Amino acid sequence: MDLKHEKKLKLEGYLRELGSLAVAFSSGVDSTFLLKVAKDVLGDKAIAVTAKSCSFPGRELDEATAFCQKEGIRQIVIESEELNIDGFRQNPKNRCYICKRELFSKIIRVAAENGIEHVAEGSNMDDNGDYRPGLMAVAELGVKSPLRYAELTKEEIRELSKEMNLPTWDKPSFACLASRFVYGETISEEKLHMVDQAEQLLLDLGFRQVRVRIHGNIARIEVLPEEIGKLTAEPARTRVYSTLKALGFAYVTMDLSGYRTGSMNETLDASEKALATGKK
């Protein structure tokens, strides 16, 4: 047995010990894998809780609902409007902490109301190396992180998902739309919609992994480095430019470094990251 299958056995054993579990389910690679394994191990004692908000695209909610229906998993959709949380709109450096603290508090209440003892989220070992203030809220609230407990990496989760015929095994990574805003810039429903529509256009044009970062009235597009040429070629260049201008962006730019996770965190120094995550 290879290492990733040993880790999967460790995950299954851990879930079995928990007895009942509510999985914060976003339809992403990690939470889909976790939910499916939890369902296989715990049966009806595993449920999905999906948060509906303006920072969560409708396409992701639809995918989450379709998966639960297909797998016979009970799904509870809750309203979690981040823009109503004190401090969130101002987009401070610990925005993710503020959001996750509120979100998981709601999920914990939902779990208790439905006789479910534990709540879990889908972070994996690769998340330990990035700036993730949301994980501080996870720790404070006692939310479980089974994939990190089993020491599973993103690549291992994708490989196991492929073996399990999960539709998400090669799904591009996604993060909430609020992560597209430069720290300190006010987040509004209007601008979230602009980003959502801009990214949907790029996906419709066949770009695999995309981000449209927003800096005031400037759109900074990230695509995979190997797809930069496709973005600058006609007719994509003209269509992207004209559509984003129509959405309300004054300037449309492309990041020559290409897509990478957490590019907004590149402006933070080590002390700021430590302060926001509670680390010293």
Cross-strand bridge partners of residue 251 = 218
pLDDT at 19 over 90: yes
- Predicted pLDDT of residue 278: 45
Across the range 92-120, mean pLDDT stands at 95
**pLDDT tens, 63-89?**
999 999 999 999 999 998 888 889 999
Both tokens of residue 243?
Answer: 């559509």
- Burial group, residue 79, by CB count within 10 angstroms (0-12, 13-18, 19+): exposed
**Which of the following CATH numbers is that of domain 3-163: 3.30.56.10, 3.30.450.20, 3.40.50.620, 3.30.360.10?**
3.40.50.620
Residues 154, 124: contact at Cβ < 8 Å? yes
Q: Quick one: which H or E segment has residue 197?
A: helix 189-204
Provide CB contacts within 8 A for 8, sequence distance 6+: 37, 150, 152, 160
d(CA 211, CA 259): 7
Q: Where are the alpha helices (DSSP H) in the chain?
A: 3-18, 29-42, 58-71, 95-113, 134-141, 146-149, 154-163, 189-204, 228-232, 236-247, 270-277
pLDDT band at 16 (very low <50, low <70, confident <90, very high): very high
pTM summary value = 0.89
Domain boundaries, the chain: 3-163, 177-260
The neighbour count for residue 131, using CB atoms within 10 Å, is: 20
Q: Quick one: which H or E segment has residue 46?
A: strand 46-52
Fold of 177-260: Alpha-Beta Plaits (3.30.70)
**pLDDT tens, 236-249?**
999 999 999 999 99
Task: Look up residue 9 and give its DSSP letter.
Answer: H
- If you average pLDDT over every residue of the chain, what do you get? 92
* Portion of the chain with pLDDT greater than 70, in percent: 92
**pLDDT tens, 41-67?**
999 999 999 999 989 999 999 999 999
